[in-house]
Structure 1
Amino acid sequence: MAEMSAEEMTLCLVRTGRSRDVASFERLFVYFGPRIRSFMLKRALDGQLAEELMQETMMMVWRKAALFDPQRGNASAWVFTLARNVMIDNLRKAKRPEFDPTDPAFVPDAPETPDVNFEQDESAERIRQALASLPEDQAELLRMSFFEDISHSMIAEKTNLPLGTVKSRIRAAFSRLRAALGEDR
């Protein structure tokens, strides 16, 4: 009973998929179980893990047997493809680090202190006022470039201005902002 022909494998797999024939599945299990365990052991997995992955593979065969198409390939290749995928999934899970809730990447930043919030609000207000003091064409170019993240060439296209004009107006706007904010450079 240990040997099976390719036709018998196909027939057992089709019966398992179509009518959940337990006898056909048992036949597949007896034939493929030791072979899949050996397949897993050859990939440097320990005996216990190889046994677990064989069991998982055979459960996958039971669940997915209805998806087997004899026109697309043989039963043995299909079963061993499932086994390979189960093994790969297991390796991926093993390489995934454990979740550590104390990892600094997951710990939120401490809330800003009131004095820092006050300074940020004050700075933001100074910048708003400085932007309001700019000529409208320069302010609009700055908004497009820095707040909307549009490239200078796209701004030139949108505004029908030469690229050099866009760049010089943005530079002039920066100079005016520095002066308005009291930053000399």
Structure 2
Amino acid sequence: MAQGTPIPDDHAALLQAIARHRERAAFAVLFRVFAPRVKAWMIRSGAADTVAEELAQETLLAVWQKADQFDPGRAGVSAWIFTIARNQRIDALRRERYPGTLLPDPDSGGAAEPVPPESAVAMAEQEARIRAALAGLPAEQAAVVRKAYFEDKAHAEIEQELCIPLGTVKSRLRLAITQLRAALADRP
């Protein structure tokens, strides 16, 4: 390795320094090492150069914010950072694919269109049906649904937050969706 390039064990130490002491110098080293790699990976994944740059910065910002969640017993630093990068890429693709699902920026100053009364009633009824269907789910399934759909979290994030295997996250989500469909299909 080139002189001055940290070895992988040093990466874990740098990440721990960020988690424990919010050391900017440690973050600067990780940023210099991983930002170009993440950007190159994003470009290979099909992202435009400017998008790849933004996603690399968002990834490293998430590394700074989530440094205390790093567990060296579960993954190496590189694998952990690229998992975050992958999640950032997936979130970006979701934003591209479903731009209309994002809420308008409240600071934009534009007035919202008035909702016709019959639409407001229909929306309220549908919301009540969904809440009732969610209440009928087992607590474990409801928690996964809330994180996936209401908090828009990736499966890997849910795995980390709930401390359950990824396969369990997916199984609970699949079972919950099946039960929700059945519960919502039974009602008018």
What is the TM-score with the length of structure 2 in the denominator?
0.52
Alignment map for 1:75-86 (pairs within 5 Å): 75-86=77-88
Q: Please point out which of 61, 64, 73 is paired with 1:62.
A: 64
Alignment map for 1:19-168 (pairs within 5 Å): 19-98=21-100
Cα distance in 2 for residues equivalent to 1:87 and 1:33: 14
Query: Deviations along 1:151-179, whole A, 9 cap, x unmatched?
Result: xxxxxxxxxxxxxxxxxxxxxxxxxxxxx
Kindly tell me the number of residue pairs found equivalent between the two proteins.
108
Query: Deviations along 1:69-106, whole A, 9 cap, x unmatched?
Result: 1121111100110000011011111111426988xxx7
Mapped contact 1:14–1:66 kept (Cα < 8 A) = yes
The list of structure 1 runs, each at least 4 consecutive aligned residues, that deviate by more than 6 angstroms after superposition, is: none
Shift of 1:109: 5.2
Q: CA RMSD in A?
A: 2.4
Partner of 2:15: 13
Cα distance in 2 for residues equivalent to 1:38 and 1:108: 51
Q: 1:52 to 1:108 in 2, by over 3 A?
A: same
Cα distance in 2 for residues equivalent to 1:73 and 1:21: 22
Q: Which has the larger radius of gyration?
A: 1
Q: Which blocks of at least 5 consecutive residues in structure 1 are unaligned?
A: 111-148, 150-185
Mapped contact 1:16–1:22 kept (Cα < 8 A) = yes
Percent same amino acid at aligned positions? 38
Cα distance in 1 for residues equivalent to 2:26 and 2:38: 17
What is the TM-score with the length of structure 1 in the denominator?
0.53
- SS for the counterpart of 2:5 is coil
Q: Which blocks of at least 5 consecutive residues in structure 2 are unaligned?
A: 105-111, 120-185
Cα distance in 1 for residues equivalent to 2:61 and 2:10: 20
Cα distance in 2 for residues equivalent to 1:97 and 1:72: 34
